[in-house]
Amino acid sequence: MAIENPSREAIGILLKKAKRIAVVGLSDNPNRTSYMVSEAMQKSGYEIIPVNPAVIEVLGVKAVSSLKEIEGHIDIVNVFRRSEFLPEIAKEFDEIDSDVFWAQLGVENQETYDFLNEKGYTVIMDRCIKVEHALTR
C-alpha cells in the first residue's frame, strides 16, 4: 500500500490534542534541523523528550537513549533519522504507549509504513512537524 498521510485537517486535530513529543535523533547542536524544529515546538507549548544515546541534555531536558525509557503516554514520536533506520525505530515504537509515528521531511520507508499502518497507528512520513503546526494553527 502506498504511503498516504492523513489529511491536513486530521494532522491539525492531532497536533491540537498532542502534548508530549518524543524526538528520536534530536541533536544538541543548535544549527541542526532537529534542534531548530524541536525548539520551535517546545516554544509552542509541547513537552519535548529528546531520544538520543549520544547526548545528555537538549533544550534543557535530560535525553534518554531509547523510547522504552520514557514513562507514560507519548502523543507523537517524531523521527529525525535516515529512512533506513525507520523499521528498527518502528519496532520499538510498537512496544511503547504512543499513537502517532511521524517521520520528518525527506524521511520515509514503505516497510515501516505498512507495518505500523496494519497495526492501526497513525503514520505520517516526509512531512515537517513544525511546518504542519504552522499551517494548521
Task: With a cut of 70, list the residues of the chain below it in pLDDT.
Answer: none
**Which pLDDT belongs to residue 88?**
98
Phi and psi based region of residue 106 (left: phi greater than 0; alpha: psi -120 to 50; beta: remaining): left
Whole-prediction pTM value? 0.97
Kindly list the structural domains of the chain, giving each domain's residue range(s) and its CATH number in brackets, ordered by start.
Answer: 8-135 (3.40.50.720)
- CA distance readout (Å), 130 to 81, 122, 125: 16, 18, 13
**Which pLDDT belongs to residue 18?**
98
Contact 63, 51 (CB under 8 A): yes
What are the backbone angles phi and psi of residue 95, rounded to the nearest 5°? -100, 0
**Which pLDDT belongs to residue 137?**
83
Distance of alpha carbon 7 from its chain centroid, rounded?
17
